[in-house]
Structure 1
Amino acid sequence: MAKDILHELRDINSLKSRRNNVVLIFLCFVVGIFSGIIVGSYTLILKKMTIFREFFTTNLGFPKIIIGITVFILLGLAIQFMLSKYPLISGSGIPQVSGLLTKKVKFKWLGELITKFVGGILAIGAGMSMGREGPSVHLGALVGSGIKKLARRSEAEEKYLVTCGASAGISSTFNAPLAGVIFSLEEIHKFFSPLLLICVMVASGTSNFVSRMILGSHTSFQYNFILPKDIPYYVIALVTVVFCIVITITGRAFSYFLLLIQKYYRKINLNNYVKMSIFMVIAYIVAVFFSDITGGGHELIEEMFGKNVMLKTIIVILILKFFYTMLCYATSAPGGIFLPMLVIGALTGKVYGEVLNHYFSIPNEIIVHFMLLGMAAYFTAVVRAPITGITLILEMTGNFSYLYMLIVVCTITYIFTELLKMEPIYERLYLNMFQKQILEENEENEKIQKHVKRLEILEKWWKNKKFGIGVRPDVKDKIVTLLIPVGANSEFDNKLVKDLKLPENLLIVSVRKSGKDTIARGDTPIQSGNQLVIITDYETARKYAGELRERGMKIIE
């Protein structure tokens, strides 16, 4: 009788959980619809803003120059005013989304949604070298946060809705639904379950369908990409490896100068409104004399695909685009670095291809070849998300014949970034943005090297405690290590080590985050995406390993 009642209760809880999952999937569908409308409209308006910018920067006379500078300064003051009211709309928005998922910050979704939308249009429309893709991720995440509050869902479900919104943002702006799914899992959430995967796919696909009705169904790059055929394989292999080295070095330079210029810009001892006004005068001058480097740069890439340009000119454009992007991002205006990264990668590939063509007599088809590979490789070097880079370029070009070469280039580049110990740029920006909140975590990580032998000491202590000194344990009583992943909204998520109720003879020695171990103490926080490093004996491990993995992954209501 008791067993029947227990089974009945389990069936009821299972049904309730399944109903909640169905509701969650429906809400993700709603997130996809509204994200598609908002991001599609955002992208369309930005395309029209080019006309606005050209009106004030072409056919110039003295009165028109004065009017143009005044308009640009007013745009800058409006942007700074919105930043003062809603500081979280600054930059790309991807670090902010990560901050929400790790509970470092909370969104004021409606005000931030409006100001991020308007501020991004004003900043990028004025010619700042910033992309719309990061803000699109942020806009989608804000939609997800808003749906959670309007539908009065739990905080656990907010993570799903926000992740789905981020996926929908990428899907809409690039017309790349699969890349949106992978980016949200690889870079934003850094964890997936069957439920999360289906939610993200629903949101991304729906958003893409809606945005296609606004922007059209064409791929981002309209060009007939063809793999080089008349070049020996050993030559392709050699120049590809060298290219990956070049991309890795320039990618490291991108991350270094982005953070450096941002740091020194903040140190300028002037009122923020004054700094923004001075910058907008510079932005007007750049828009007049160097219009090629303004905006995200999508048109620049398409132009370079089919146009013969002098090598010196390409190098100048590359250098100007590189440093102007750094300066624009340092202002904290609402805009991202996603598309400028792709542009810089494509220009680097263009320069490399031109050098091979002019000085080593390699056929000119190699130029576009390395432009295409350069975008994915540069994204891999800077963001450290190779799967997203590969998928994104495939969907942007609609050409799957490049799949193998993209895999090869991104893999080699990723290996080089590992050897150079390069950190993902969005993680660095996240650390800079939430430095105060995570200061204690950083201090804890600095102490790790002082305690590198602690695990060995603990193992020796455990053996002595279990078997007595000098007693050789049986094979079944060997000391083993368990690695338990922590899933989103699981029993272990957002808990302290001391709050976990584990069976006897299990000892948590460290909490692993992004490959780095933090010595486990009672007040050490545990979050989704972490891994618990546990030591125990063989029999205990065999008895409880399955249960621990289930508790670490199973979603609780």
Structure 2
Amino acid sequence: MSNVPYHAVAIGVGAVVGVLGSAFHVGVEKLTAAWPAYLDTGLGLDGFPLYAAAALVAAAMTLVSLWLVRTFAPEASGSGVPEIEGAMEGLREVRWHRVLPVKFVAGLLSLSSGMVLGREGPTIHIGASVAKAASDLMKWSGEDMRGLLAAGGAAGLAAAFNAPLAAVLFVIEETRRQFPYSSRTYIAVVLASIASAIVTEYLTGSRPYMLLEAATIPYVWLPAFVVLGAILGLAGFVFNRTLVWSLDHVRRLGMRTSFYIFPTFVGLTVGVLMFVRPEATQGGELLAVQLTRENLPLAMLVFVVLLRFVMTMASYSTGVAGGIFAPILALATTIGLCYGTTLDLFFTLPDQAHTTFAIAAMGGLFAATIGAPLVGMVLVLELTSAYAVLVPVMISAIFAHMVFLALGGRPIYEILLERTLALEAEARAAASR
């Protein structure tokens, strides 16, 4: 078969994903701002009535999101990236008829409730679902279908962060075991990412989502980024272990009681935090930019790190639709600022060094948890447009990855896919008895 129809479909998939991803992005932004504003200024609530109403609204959004997932598309739970990697490996099936609507609506509700989740997981899953729909329409299977799944997933990542180059690299590096590499499929991935980025920029603007200003760092300070990378490698190891531990414990709690009890508690908590401690809620892209400008004291930064770490674990463990890219980046930013603030107690730092540490930390923690250092480097630069700090970002990312591997760490999506397959096998065995 000629490559022209295949690549034309890839472009079409990318464009459709760009529209859906932009709609999802704008929808989350509008709804996240709308319901707290309505309670606060629209109804004029204050104090305890405001907190109680916010808790109930956030809990309701969380529970409806979880109900949609558990009732109609259990595979729409969480990020969606492990599902796509499993499908590309022939271990999972993308049921696009149910995943598309459920992932969009459930993700819109869960992210807008204020939970610490990212939009990239849903948009990647939505993108792959659009690709599977196109493959079914064209009656493609095998390598063509798997290649188009990768193209759709890449388009979803490009739409989430307006980062088309990182999206292409994500397929090459993160799905290197599953992606059916050939010039045909590789070009399809690039074309879909470009189409998605063009549509996303047209609909939402071309400004980087986390625009940060950072100056070139003097060479004498580069060893500090080696140490930062080592810290982030350890942090990534702890992050992955804790996330899986949280998922397992919440699942056991759900099996003993109800799968809706813990999400209710998290939703109630998030609703209150939206007004009391907003820095502990939402994906965190805007928070990361805000923190670099506030010059918070070290104690407050440490508090934010701990609070967001706990809320990330709690939010993802509920089983609603939502990703972890954005929470990882926001958490990393705060860790980087903690590191820079600590150094500032003992040394005179160069101009904008705190911001540089924050940006480098994003690449480092991403490289460790996801296991894709090259993607981490490029994604951070596309998000922040801080190309002047390329070398510090590269140093932090690669040393974080090295320390993470030395500790015995494994990429989080690989672990989550294995966990899903094991639970599915366990359920089949129990049903056959």
> Normalised by the size of structure 2, how large is the TM-score?
0.92
The 1-side partners of 2:38 and 2:317 are apart by 24
Contact 1:252 1:382 in 2 (8 A): yes
Q: Deviations over 1:269-299 (max 9, x none)?
A: 2222333323321222222321112110011
The 1-side partners of 2:95 and 2:160 are apart by 23
Match of 1:209 among 195, 198, 208: 198
The residue type paired with residue 344 of structure 2 is N
Match of 2:236 among 251, 275, 300: 251
In structure 1, the residue matched to 2:64 is: 78
Contact 1:80 1:272 in 2 (8 A): no
Query: How many angstroms does 1:189 deviate by?
Result: 4.7
Q: Does 1:409 align with 2:396?
A: yes
Contact 2:233 2:402 in 1 (8 A): no
Query: How many angstroms does 1:437 deviate by?
Result: 6.3
In structure 2, the residue matched to 1:194 is: 183
Contact 2:51 2:275 in 1 (8 A): no
Q: Does 1:299 align with 2:286?
A: yes
Query: How many angstroms does 1:371 deviate by?
Result: 0.4
The 2-side partners of 1:436 and 1:355 are apart by 43
Report the 3-state secondary structure (helix = DSSP H, G, I; strand = E; otherwise coil) of the residue aligned with 2:160: helix
The residue type paired with residue 377 of structure 1 is G
Contact 1:357 1:363 in 2 (8 A): no
The 1-side partners of 2:128 and 2:261 are apart by 31
In structure 2, the residue matched to 1:68 is: 54
Query: How many angstroms does 1:248 deviate by?
Result: 1.1
In structure 1, the residue matched to 2:270 is: 283
Q: Which has the higher contact order (CA 8 A, sep 6+)?
A: 2
In structure 2, the residue matched to 1:39 is: 21
Report the 3-state secondary structure (helix = DSSP H, G, I; strand = E; otherwise coil) of the residue aligned with 2:307: helix
Q: Does 1:184 align with 2:166?
A: no
The residue type paired with residue 70 of structure 1 is L
Contact 2:234 2:403 in 1 (8 A): no
Change (3 A) 1:410 1:72: closer
Query: How many angstroms does 1:187 deviate by?
Result: 1.0
Q: Which has the higher strand share?
A: 1
The residue type paired with residue 186 of structure 2 is L
The 2-side partners of 1:309 and 1:436 are apart by 43
The residue type paired with residue 251 of structure 1 is G
1:109-188 superposed matches below 5 A: 109-188=96-175
1:268-279 superposed matches below 5 A: 268=253, 269-279=256-266
Change (3 A) 1:156 1:117: same
In structure 2, the residue matched to 1:553 is: none
1:389-400 superposed matches below 5 A: 389-400=376-387
Query: How many angstroms does 1:62 deviate by?
Result: 5.0
The residue type paired with residue 76 of structure 1 is T
Q: Deviations over 1:153-201 (max 9, x none)?
A: 2243211111001100111111111111010121135443221211101
Cα RMSD of the aligned pairs, angstroms, is 1.8
Change (3 A) 1:168 1:421: same
Q: Which has the higher helix share?
A: 2
The 1-side partners of 2:245 and 2:324 are apart by 15
In structure 2, the residue matched to 1:519 is: none
How many equivalent pairs are there? 417
The 2-side partners of 1:286 and 1:399 are apart by 31
Contact 2:312 2:327 in 1 (8 A): yes
In structure 2, the residue matched to 1:478 is: none
The 2-side partners of 1:437 and 1:189 are apart by 24
Query: How many angstroms does 1:366 deviate by?
Result: 1.8
Query: How many angstroms does 1:102 deviate by?
Result: 1.6
Match of 2:226 among 233, 241, 256: 241
Change (3 A) 1:422 1:178: same
Report the 3-state secondary structure (helix = DSSP H, G, I; strand = E; otherwise coil) of the residue aligned with 2:345: helix
The 1-side partners of 2:266 and 2:424 are apart by 30
The 1-side partners of 2:393 and 2:49 are apart by 51
Change (3 A) 1:285 1:66: closer
Q: Deviations over 1:354-409 (max 9, x none)?
A: 01112333345221111010000110111110110111112112233222332222
Query: How many angstroms does 1:242 deviate by?
Result: 1.6
Contact 1:136 1:173 in 2 (8 A): yes
Change (3 A) 1:55 1:238: same
The 2-side partners of 1:57 and 1:321 are apart by 24
The 2-side partners of 1:244 and 1:409 are apart by 4
Report the 3-state secondary structure (helix = DSSP H, G, I; strand = E; otherwise coil) of the residue aligned with 1:218: coil
Contact 2:316 2:322 in 1 (8 A): yes
Query: How many angstroms does 1:41 deviate by?
Result: 0.8
Structure 1: segments with no counterpart, 5+ residues = 1-16, 440-557
The 2-side partners of 1:119 and 1:145 are apart by 20
The residue type paired with residue 241 of structure 2 is Y
Contact 1:77 1:276 in 2 (8 A): yes
1:96-107 superposed matches below 5 A: 96-107=83-94
In structure 1, the residue matched to 2:9 is: 27
Change (3 A) 1:34 1:314: same
Report the 3-state secondary structure (helix = DSSP H, G, I; strand = E; otherwise coil) of the residue aligned with 1:336: coil
Query: How many angstroms does 1:57 deviate by?
Result: 6.2
Identity percentage of aligned residues: 27
In structure 2, the residue matched to 1:442 is: none
Contact 2:88 2:146 in 1 (8 A): yes
The 2-side partners of 1:178 and 1:242 are apart by 28
Q: Does 1:264 align with 2:240?
A: no
The 2-side partners of 1:144 and 1:196 are apart by 13
The 2-side partners of 1:141 and 1:404 are apart by 33
Query: How many angstroms does 1:432 deviate by?
Result: 0.7
Query: How many angstroms does 1:254 deviate by?
Result: 0.6
Report the 3-state secondary structure (helix = DSSP H, G, I; strand = E; otherwise coil) of the residue aligned with 2:225: helix
In structure 2, the residue matched to 1:344 is: 331
Change (3 A) 1:175 1:193: same
Report the 3-state secondary structure (helix = DSSP H, G, I; strand = E; otherwise coil) of the residue aligned with 2:332: helix
Query: How many angstroms does 1:438 deviate by?
Result: 7.5
Contact 1:53 1:127 in 2 (8 A): no
